[in-house]
Structure 1
Amino acid sequence: MTDSYKLPGKDGYFTTSDGVKLHYVRKGIGEPLIIIPGWAGSAYSFYYNIDDLSQKFSVYILESRAHGESEAVEHGYRLSRIAKDAREFFLSINVKKAHWMGHSMGCSVLWMYIDLFGQDSIDHLILVDQPPFLLGNPENTEAEIKEHGGQRIDLWQIYNAFQHSWEEGLKVFSRFFDLELSNKYENHDREEILARAFACHKTHRILGKLLLDHLTQDWRDIIPRITVPTLYITGDVSHATNLDSSIWIVDAIGDCKWIRFSSEEYGTHSMMINAPEKFNREVIKFLTES
């Protein structure tokens, strides 16, 4: 029996320099577009996007270690290693430059990539719904924390919860973030895709370790150094970003276009699933016209 929700494109595998087998999905011809899903996200995060995007580009969706179909090992769960994995994958496809897109923690991976490897391999950059710094400093005012998208987080409470179980981890995570990845609508297909995109129950322990590293990173020194054409996409009802932090990022990047998804447009953290028509249209327009 065939799976009606099978991902479009061809499966591929790439082995990193430290011996980890990473899964990716590829479809299309043309200029390469490499997509890095967010924390706990798989290639299914872009299930509704790969067909449209592959009409114009050679799309690669790379699943990080312990994500999706990629191998889950006991080492390498820090953003520096994930960024190195992305670099090694880029070198393996033998192109001079690529368009790069990151969602959520995928943006952090790209910011780390820029810090480590520069921007020579980046043609256009697409950042989807990630603030510059998630961890609220106890000495900061509420306004200062809001400006960089932070929260007053108990890091070890979140980490320890994910060591116990995926369900407990999400429960504690939701105490600090208003976690709502989808709006209420009559579309069972999209609910199924969302579930597949974040089906990480078996890797909760090691993903908790990666989340700890992710939450402590401060990108406010890296973002103003971005010089490539950039598209920043946010959702007005996302748990990850807010208006103040989004304005900060757009102002910090010299060449940056900002696309907002309203509540009526299902502008959650996963707008590429909730509103794929607008998402695909804006991405293609940015990459072909800028």
Structure 2
Amino acid sequence: MPYLEVEDHVELYYEDVGEGAPVIFIHGVWMSSRFFKKQTEHFRKNHRVILLDLRGHGQSEKVHHGHTVANYARDLHTFIEKMGLKDVVLVGWSMGAFVVWDYLHQFGEDNVKGTVIVDELASDFKWDDFPSGAFDFPTLIHLMREVQNNRVGFLTEFIPLMFKEELPQKEYDWMLEETTKLPESVASAILFDQTVVDYRNQFENIKVPTLLCFGRAEKLIPVEAGEYLNKHIVNSQLIVFEDSCHCPFLEEPENFNEVVSEFVQSL
């Protein structure tokens, strides 16, 4: 299996298939590259598609340090540099969107051809001036404790919330397997950091073309979040997937793949 060392004793698992413009898929918190299994065959026809497991996630090294969004963005930058990738398109789902925005903040847009943001808020935290955030402080405390003391029970309720329709048992089973690969210490550490990051002040600096993909069902993230991003990121367009919730790439894969492919080819 292919691994790349981004730091001493820190290896990231990745899949790399196809040729053409490199499109890198970046998963959400606790998730993995396996969630993009329905993208590989479509995108490899015209693009170089790269699926990446972030530090500590999926099949990547289970290290106990460096679990912040900013550091994941640094890992991504090192990965891109070591792989010699040029003019990349970054697809960030959920927390992966934060990794994309942090990458742009730290390293600029010179090597980024475009970005795709999938179902994420400007910040997950309910700040005093941002009431549309997902979590307030008491909720965050509860989630941190659930991850430590009742992770499987919590995920049993959380995973179905990512989907508009009822999840088949077979699908739920592999998702639970993926989301419990992280040690609980890592899972709670990155949950905290990804909840309290806030990118609202950075959107005015984003000039790279941006495609915003949001699910109509609002079990987790409201469409309003996509409208907010569309308003504040200058060169952006919003696409709402009517039969999806948090995972349009799994819920409406053919539609999602076509929409994103058209966007990438337009760059």
CA distance in 1, matches of 2:86, 2:167: 44
Secondary structure of 1:51 counterpart: helix
Matched residue, 1:95: 85
CA RMSD after TM alignment? 2.2
Matched residue, 1:104: 94
Secondary structure of 2:50 counterpart: strand
Matched residue, 2:135: 151
Q: Once the 2 structures are TM-superposed, how far is the Cα of residue 168 of structure 1 from its aligned partner?
A: 4.8
Of 16, 32, 45, which residue of structure 2 is paired with 1:55? Answer: 45
Secondary structure of 1:180 counterpart: helix
- The residue identity in structure 2 corresponding to 1:93 is M
Matched residue, 1:216: 196
Secondary structure of 1:234 counterpart: strand
Deviation string for 1:85-142 (max 9, x for gaps)?
00000001113321111110000011111111111111011111110011113x45xx
CA distance in 2, matches of 1:165, 1:80: 28
Q: Once the 2 structures are TM-superposed, how far is the Cα of residue 163 of structure 1 from its aligned partner?
A: 2.0
Matched residue, 1:181: 162
- Indicate the percent of aligned positions where both proteins have the same amino acid: 24
Of 56, 64, 74, which residue of structure 2 is paired with 1:66? Answer: 56
Please say if residues 165 and 201 of structure 1, whose CA atoms lie closer than 8 Å, have aligned partners that are also in contact. Answer: no
Q: Which moved more, 1:123-132 or 1:161-170?
A: 161-170
CA distance in 2, matches of 1:186, 1:69: 24
Structure 1, unaligned runs of 5 or more:
1-10
Deviation string for 1:51-73 (max 9, x for gaps)?
10111111111101111100111
Please say if residues 65 and 72 of structure 1, whose CA atoms lie closer than 8 Å, have aligned partners that are also in contact. Answer: yes
- The residue identity in structure 2 corresponding to 1:180 is L
- The residue identity in structure 1 corresponding to 2:7 is S
Matched residues, number: 266
Matched residue, 2:263: 286
Please say if residues 134 and 150 of structure 1, whose CA atoms lie closer than 8 Å, have aligned partners that are also in contact. Answer: yes
Matched residue, 1:113: 103
Matched residue, 2:145: 160
Q: Once the 2 structures are TM-superposed, how far is the Cα of residue 151 of structure 1 from its aligned partner?
A: 3.3
Of 25, 28, 31, which residue of structure 1 is paired with 2:18? Answer: 28
Instruction: Describe the shift of the 1:244–1:183 C-alpha distance in structure 2 as closer, same or farther (beyond 3 A).
Output: closer
Q: Once the 2 structures are TM-superposed, how far is the Cα of residue 179 of structure 1 from its aligned partner?
A: 5.9
Q: Once the 2 structures are TM-superposed, how far is the Cα of residue 153 of structure 1 from its aligned partner?
A: 3.9
- The residue identity in structure 2 corresponding to 1:114 is L
CA distance in 2, matches of 1:28, 1:284: 14
Instruction: Describe the shift of the 1:222–1:51 C-alpha distance in structure 2 as closer, same or farther (beyond 3 A).
Output: same
- The residue identity in structure 2 corresponding to 1:159 is M
Which aligned runs of 4 or more in structure 1 are off by greater than 4 angstroms? 185-196
Matched residue, 1:77: 67
Matched residue, 1:5: none
CA distance in 1, matches of 2:43, 2:218: 23
Deviation string for 1:132-182 (max 9, x for gaps)?
011113x45xxx512xx44334222222221224225547x95xxx96122
Matched residue, 1:7: none
Please say if residues 131 and 245 of structure 1, whose CA atoms lie closer than 8 Å, have aligned partners that are also in contact. Answer: yes
Q: TM-score, normalization: structure 1?
A: 0.84
